[in-house]
Amino acid sequence: MRAAPAHNIADKRTPVDVDGAILAKEVFGWPDDGHAWWNTPRLALESPITTACRYESEAFWVNAKGFSTRQPNPYLDGIDMSNFEQRALTPAAIVVPVHLPFGQIGAVSFNPLDRTKTDLSAEFEKFGDIFSLYAHIFIGSYVHAMGGQHKLPVGSKLSKREVECLRWAAIGKTDLEISMIMNRSRATIRFHIHNASAKLDAVNRSQTVFKAAQLGYIGLNH
């Protein structure tokens, strides 16, 4: 089997060494033949494997027939499996999601060299635990080694007003609705949410809410 590591499934960049060489090619032996998975910009959005990593935290194996997990996960049942091999770029895989601080999700998939092999149940039973250990060590070490680019910026502590705005945003309230609830202007609400986004290094409102939840500022269960 051949390992395919991703330190962040939301990032188009694949793990590299200090000189910028792609680890998938230089270390894990993937051919750069024009169909290399790290050159597929929509893989994170289209692949059923990366979708599953957002809903599952334990190792699983998957093929076109569906996902096999050690514990039932109904969220995986709703994932679109059509054209699986074309969208996942593999006929089957053992996958280890690696959930990291601040909402970052990494993953390592272990893919059979024999592309006719689609049943990985025996391999998963035999190697699933050790693959999981290796994947967590590798991704965790890589993210740690990369250092600053994965850290929150200095001054990322949210203010009371910013947290209050995000709590209302988390349950679907618009800026106008939050302004009426908090008796503040719409511009003030936007200001607080924008500041929170900047502090958390978030690219949009949804990611701001998600990161705030990951850090324990707000809850998403209401």
Note the pLDDT tens digit of each residue in 90-113: 999 999 999 988 778 999 999 999
Q: Is 146 found in the same domain as 37?
A: yes
* 2-6, strands of its sheet edge to edge: 2-6, 105-111, 92-99, 60-63, 66-69
Compute φ and ψ for 88, nearest 5 degrees. -95, -15
Q: Is 14 found in the same domain as 110?
A: yes
CA atoms within 13 A on the CB side of 159: 12
Of 95, 126, 150, the residue that ends a domain is 150
Length of the chain: 222
21 three-state secondary structure: coil
Of 119, 150, 181, the residue that ends a domain is 150
Confidence class for position 138, pLDDT limits 50, 70, 90: very high
Confidence class for position 150, pLDDT limits 50, 70, 90: very low
Rg (CA), the chain: 20
d(CA 71, CA 20): 38
Q: Is 140 found in the same domain as 70?
A: yes
pLDDT value at position 127?
A: 97
Is 164 domain-assigned? yes
d(CA 59, CA 68): 9
pLDDT value at position 96?
A: 98
Q: Is 25 found in the same domain as 64?
A: yes
pLDDT in tens, 60-98: 999 999 999 999 999 999 999 999 999 999 999 999 999
Q: Is 60 exceeded by the pLDDT of residue 13?
A: yes
- How is residue 216 written in tokens? 């324990």
Q: Is 116 found in the same domain as 66?
A: yes
Task: Kindly give the residue spans of alpha helices, DSSP state H, lying in 78-159.
Answer: 84-88, 121-146
- How is residue 110 written in tokens? 């272990």
Q: What is the CATH number of the domain that holds 97?
A: 3.30.450
In which domain, by residue range, is 201 found? 160-214
Q: Is 83 found in the same domain as 18?
A: yes
Total domains in the fold of the chain: 2
Q: Is 90 exceeded by the pLDDT of residue 122?
A: yes
d(CA 43, CA 57): 19
Q: Is 183 found in the same domain as 114?
A: no
Mean per-residue pLDDT of the chain? 90
Whether the model clears a pTM of 0.85, i.e. scores above it, the answer is: no
Q: Is 79 found in the same domain as 33?
A: yes
Confidence class for position 152, pLDDT limits 50, 70, 90: low
Is 7 domain-assigned? yes
Q: Is 49 found in the same domain as 112?
A: yes
Is 221 domain-assigned? no
pLDDT in tens, 168-181: 999 999 999 999 99
